[in-house]
Amino acid sequence: MNPYLAGFLLGLVLLAAFVFMGRGLGASGAFTTALSTGVHAVAPAHAEGNAFYAGYLGDGTTNPLKDWLVFEVLGVFAGGFLSGALANRLKVRIEKGPRISNPRRLVFAAIGGALMGIGAKLALGCTSGQALSGGALLNVGSWAFMLCVFGGAYGLAWFFRRAWL
């Protein structure tokens, strides 16, 4: 799809979220909620004693999984799957550059994911919740964050060129 058209459609989805809910899109928060609920199920005392988990568990009156972001991310999985299925793009595979082995690529993916989790929590949002949603609202922190994401990635790109090129 033409990137400008895709961007326009993405912008409309984001605008719809603003108009219907008064909030933007997100992704990382859903995983944190799921994780906090999981930890709470296994070790309730530990989860409640940790301010980070506790913040995602709510006041106990409702199930924390009945959360806007959790359902939105379930939708992202469904929508991605649907689009891939309709375009015949569903296939088990590993995306990588030609000069990197499969195990190495997967280790990199795991490390990248871990950094992403830490960065997103430190910044109170990821590319969806901060850069995209906050960017459209001209949020100060979101723009600072966005520049730093690009800065961090471009700054390290040279060192990881063997993974992609």
Partner 1 sequence: MIAPFYKYGMFGDEMSLVVAFVTGIAFGFVLERAGFGNARVLAAQFYFRELRVFKVMFTAIITAMLGVYFLGRFGVLDVSLIYLTPTFLGPQIIGGLILGAGFIIGGYCPGTSCVSAATGRVDGMVFLAGMMGGLVGFAEIYPYIETYTKLTSLGQVTLAGVFDISYGFLVFAVVLMAFVAFLAAEWAEKLIGHKLPGPGDLTEPVRKLTPVRGFAFGLTGLGVIALLAGSPYRTAFARIDTKQLALDAGSAAAGVEAAELADWIVQGRNDYLLIDVRDATAYAAYHIPGAMNVPLASLTPDLARRNERIVFYSDSEMQAAQAWFLLRSLGFPSAGMLAGGLDAWKDSVLYPLAPAEGSAPADQIAFAKRSAVAKFFGGAPRGAGSVSLETAAPALPQLKLPATTVAPDASRPVKKRKKEGC
42 near partner 1, judged by CB under 8 A: no
Distant-in-sequence contacts of 114-117, Cβ < 8 A, 24+ apart: 116/28, 117/28, 117/31
122 near partner 1, judged by CB under 8 A: yes
Length of the chain: 165
Compute the least distance from the CB of residue 101 to partner 1, in Å: 12
Q: Which of residues 45-64 bind partner 1 (CB under 8 A)?
A: 50-53, 55-56, 58-59, 62
CA distance linking residue 31 with residue 46, whole number of Å: 18
Residue among 122, 120, 121, 127 nearest 147 (CA): 127
Compute the least distance from the CB of residue 152 to partner 1, in Å: 2
Compute the least distance from the CB of residue 45 to partner 1, in Å: 14
Site string for partner 1, 65-84 (x = CB under 8 A): -xxxxxxxxxxxxxxxxxxx
Compute the least distance from the CB of residue 41 to partner 1, in Å: 14
Site string for partner 1, 132-151 (x = CB under 8 A): xxxxxxxxxxxxxxxxxxxx
Q: Which of residues 89-108 bind partner 1 (CB under 8 A)?
A: 89-97, 105-106, 108
Q: Of the two residues 41 and 59, which places its CB atom closer to partner 1 in the complex?
A: 59
CA distance linking residue 53 with residue 36, whole number of Å: 5
CA distance linking residue 137 with residue 86, whole number of Å: 33
43 near partner 1, judged by CB under 8 A: no
Q: Give the count of residues interacting with partner 1 (CB under 8 A).
A: 129
117 near partner 1, judged by CB under 8 A: yes
| Buried residues in 59-89 as b, exposed as e (16+ CB within 10 A) | eeeeebeebebbebbeeeeeeeeeeeeeeee
CA distance linking residue 25 with residue 41, whole number of Å: 27
161 near partner 1, judged by CB under 8 A: yes
